[in-house]
Amino acid sequence: MNYQNLILTKEDGIGIVTIKPHKSVNLLNIEVFIELNKMFIDIESDPDIRVVILTGTGNAFVAGVDITDMKDNNPVSIERFIKIAREAGDRIYHLSKPVIAAINGYAFGGGNELALACDLRIASENARFGQQEINFGIIPGGGAIQRLNRMVGMTRAKEIVYTGEVFDANQALETGLINKMVPPDKLMDEARALAHKLLSKSSVALAYAKKAFNTGADMSLSAAMDIDESYFARCFASEDQKEGMEAFLEHRKAEFKNR
């Protein structure tokens, strides 16, 4: 596929997906969502990529959905749009490989929803967040309500959605929305450092851990712990489990083969 809105670069096991500017700042439209879905399908089957970094350009991670494209929709056409948008977010969320959001600036509306679909989030000090849909007479439809509810708790999630207010990276860190806040010029270095830390682990174990987290999030505690038990047992069918435990007993660094 010839991508018009995305750039994929590969660096020693890391795939960096950059959303290119649309108009003056990064804005989402249906073409961007289609490309994101297709790119992450390709990344899933790409053996050269074991960890993904998703980022934007300029002063925006993604500044939201292009309202010009959205405003004249009817319930039927907008449902088609939001299904495609949700599919892109779900594709990121369910990718078997860890995805790190490197949030370089504005993450509004659908942009924040993309960040929420990632496993880990690092933001620059000048990043800004918000679900501003309520200010346009609508609600978030691409996952923010349910993911925020599970991530930061219902009380804070309702405040974010009901008020539509913009909040800064420090508030996002205090809320638990991001893992780390760094100076703007250190953002990609920090994202790469985290990616390399994950590359040192077993890709098999990381994939099972991600499946356990994501699957268990929608279950009762008891059912979710059954999922943990199942994936824990599956680890013992891997070469990496043998290598990891033998390395520990031999007082050396494990050399995982990711199988």
For residue 245, count other CB atoms closer than 10 A to its CB.
12
Instruction: Tell me if residue 165 is catalytic.
Output: no
**pLDDT at residue number 25:** 67
What is the mean pLDDT of the segment spanning 81-104? 95
**pLDDT at residue number 27:** 79
**pLDDT at residue number 21:** 64
**pLDDT at residue number 49:** 97
Catalytic residue among 113, 165, 190, 229: 113
**pLDDT at residue number 259:** 92
Q: How far apart are CA 194 and CA 51, in angstroms?
A: 10
Task: Identify the sign of the CA torsion 85, 26, 94, 129.
Answer: negative
Please write the tens of the pLDDT for every residue from 140-153.
999 999 999 999 99
pLDDT band for position 26 (cuts 50, 70, 90) = confident
- Please tell me which residue, 252 or 66, carries the higher pLDDT value: 252
Catalytic residue among 133, 190, 229, 239: 133
Residue 24 in this model has a pLDDT that exceeds 70:
no
Instruction: Tell me if residue 113 is catalytic.
Output: yes
For 155-180, give the DSSP string.
HHHHHHHHH---EEHHHHHHHTS-SE
